[in-house]
Structure 1
Amino acid sequence: MRHPKVKIALALLSVTLLTAACGRSSDSDGGADSSQSAGQNAAAPTTAELTMWAMGSDGDNLPKLLKQFETENPGYKVKVTSIPWQDAAAKFRTAEAGGVTPDIARSAPR
């Protein structure tokens, strides 16, 4: 495997971008806007559990790196499932057919 640290960094970048896409707001009012009625409380903090499939040694190394991500992004939990490369294609086909794909997955190297 070439440059495992680069691959792990790219996986973490994917998680970070997905977090941003989920609409987490850094506003102190919890993301409340003027369309809310006067009697409503501010929005609750964003929480999410993301499922990530990682192939090969990435599956063993990512949980260590995700501790920092989860500390810096309270409310977000990333569950990593390690999948051997030889089983990955079948796992993806089965997940696609069943409609239960992960939130994040790493594609095969080119």
Structure 2
Amino acid sequence: ADLAILSNGLKYPSFDSSYFEKKAKIWQKKYSRRRHLAKLLVLQDRNKKVLCPRSLESFTNWQKAQKSKAKCQAKAANQRRDYLHKLTTHLVKQYDVIAIEDLKTKNLQKN
């Protein structure tokens, strides 16, 4: 549950970027819906044999959704990276020796 627990009992919680992750999830739904509708319209143009059929790139609505989704995902990733950088910098400046141990709690419960 925690990102790091020090030997003196100090706990660092894992990063919570739920706001931008929720926004990215919402934009992912919008993107998928808009792309699906654009594909359907392209297929309708193709089946009706329109003189000037539309291509998928001509629909700007799903491209805007794609950009917004990418911005939200990048923002969440940047915040997560920034949190980790600040935490590791703080630990390195404060302590002389750092030892890392990866514990699996399921194995501890079995023993």
TM-score normalised by length of structure 2: 0.31
Instruction: Compare CA radii of gyration and give the structure with the larger one.
Output: 2
- Compare the two structures and name the one with the higher strand fraction: 1
TM-score normalised by length of structure 1: 0.31
- Compare the two structures and name the one with the higher helix fraction: 2
